[in-house]
Amino acid sequence: MSSSNVIVIGGGAAGIMAAISAHRAGADVTILERNPRIGKKILATGNGRCNFTNINADVNYYHGNNPEFVSVALSNFTVKDTIRFFEDLGIEHKVEEMGKVFPMSDQASSFLDVFLYELNQRGINVICDSKVTGVSKKNDKFIISTEEGKYTADKVIIATGGKAMPSTGSDGNGYDLAKALGHRIVDIFPALVQIMLEGSFFKRIAGVKILGTAEIIHQNKSLVKDKGDILFANYGVSGPPILQISRKAGELLKEGKEVYIKIIVLDMPYERVKSIIKRRFSNSLHKPVDFSLIGLINKRLIPVILLEAGIDDIKKSVANLSDKEIENIINILTNWRIKIRGTKSWPSAQVTAGGVDTNEINLNTMESKLVKGLFFAGEIVDIDGQCGGFNLQWAWSSGYIAGKNAVLKGD
């Protein structure tokens, strides 16, 4: 009996997993990768250390029009399955803070090394520098057009990634392929990305880092928040908590809504901050107001915070501050609100929000409900995870299931 012939479009995390999974299930597999080599984006993850999963991965860490869509994939190829899969390939793991899982080698390149070995051992055909320009179906066979020529396949898995980090080859081309095959694309926008803010003072505080809390505010309501190192930049803010909450900002901005960020510089109850400020000020009535804040907050932040509190003369003595000005300082330290003017664009984003509509994909198999024999895996689907290994877990789970089911006979 001749084996099924599967072509995987895209040699990233989901594509490589799909290829290995399909081959294990008995298919002849070819990966078409547009870059000179596979796995380019894997090398960039986790600051080059590759945070490849998270022990807490469940539906609560995912977004999209229907986040529940991930639950079947995550239960069919679990975090434990992922860790075991990579252990078999040679990757020993360690669990770090917040459930993040890394290779013991601390090198993302370890994944590429073991993947290349496995693909080679299995005789999986990897064709690099091969950009797919179209996919069509004729008489139960898929015709895949590339810039160099055409291929035919029984089954096709589209795992091209999204539009984030275009330097790794993801330019949104997969959406065009999916659209041409009749699929609807849920509007895409950058996620896990830096936030750009209104204000002329950011150049003065670029490079300042604080441990604080950031929240997305719309119509005076806090919608999402996260705590950690917040880094000020000449355009606005960056750092892990900013990336985590950026998706909500992007979503609201896409809908034309007015959005603010709230930064809590001194992360403690309002009354505690008030008592600290009052004590400091009453102990140093003769000091200039800017100098009186040294030792409490980052020195470079002081002039900007005083400016935001409406104090033009930052050299005036504490004794000359009005009650209102003191109150303004406390408010800025505990509830600093700045209007969001946008997020950084695709080159800065770690992941794409939006993608192929999950209503048109069978959640048990990752097969298209519109085109039999067509499968999707990874970031191209309208699913995106939080920072911390969740997006790679989605790539492994969806890739594994797509690959396995691309070989099974029947629906």
Quickly state the pLDDT bin for 168 (edges 50, 70, 90).
confident
* pLDDT of 219 higher than 80: yes
Residue 297's DSSP bridge partners are 294
Q: What is the pLDDT of residue 409?
A: 56
Which of 223, 220, 296 shows the shortest CA–CA distance to 265?
A: 296
Coil/strand/helix, residue 42:
helix
> What average pLDDT is seen over the chain?
95
55 CB-contact burial (10 Å; exposed 0-12 / middle 13-18 / buried 19+) = middle
Residue 157 confidence class, pLDDT cut points 50, 70, 90? very high
Residue found under tokens 């299931």: 401
Rounded CA separation 347/291 (Å): 40
* Helix or strand holding residue 401 (H, E): helix 390-405
User: Which CA distances in Å does 57 have to 168, 193, 224?
Assistant: 25, 21, 19
Residue 170 confidence class, pLDDT cut points 50, 70, 90 = confident
State how far the Cα of 258 lies from the Cα of 244, in Å rounded to an integer.
19
DSSP-assigned letters across all residues of 162-212? -SSSGGGT-SSHHHHHHHHTT--EEEEEEES--EEE--S-HHHHTT-EEEE
CA 17 to chain centre: 19
pLDDT in tens, 9-55: 999 999 999 999 999 999 999 999 999 999 999 988 888 899 999 99
Cα end-to-end span (Å), the chain: 19
Q: Of 188, 170, 178, 176, which Cα lies nearest the Cα of 14?
A: 170
Q: Is the pLDDT of residue 1 over 50?
A: no
User: Which tokens sit at 219?
Assistant: 């119509």
pTM confidence score: 0.94
What pLDDT does 50 receive? 95
Distance, CA of 156 to CA of 160 (rounded, Å): 12
Whether 369 shows a pLDDT value over 80: the answer reads yes
The two structure tokens encoding residue 153: 């396949």
CB distance 22 to 44 below 8 Å: no
DSSP type of residue 135: E
| pLDDT score of 169 | 84
Over 50: is that where the pLDDT of 386 sits? yes
Question: Residue 44: its pLDDT value, please?
Answer: 83
Q: Tell me the pLDDT tens digit for each residue of 237-251.
A: 999 999 999 999 999
Q: Write the pLDDT tens digit of every residue in 250-280.
A: 999 999 999 999 999 999 999 999 999 999 9
pLDDT at position 233 is 98
Bridging pattern class, strands 374-376 and 155-158: parallel
Task: Compute the distance between CA of residue 169 and CA of residue 44 in angstroms, rounded to an integer.
Answer: 13
Q: Is the pLDDT of residue 96 over 90?
A: yes
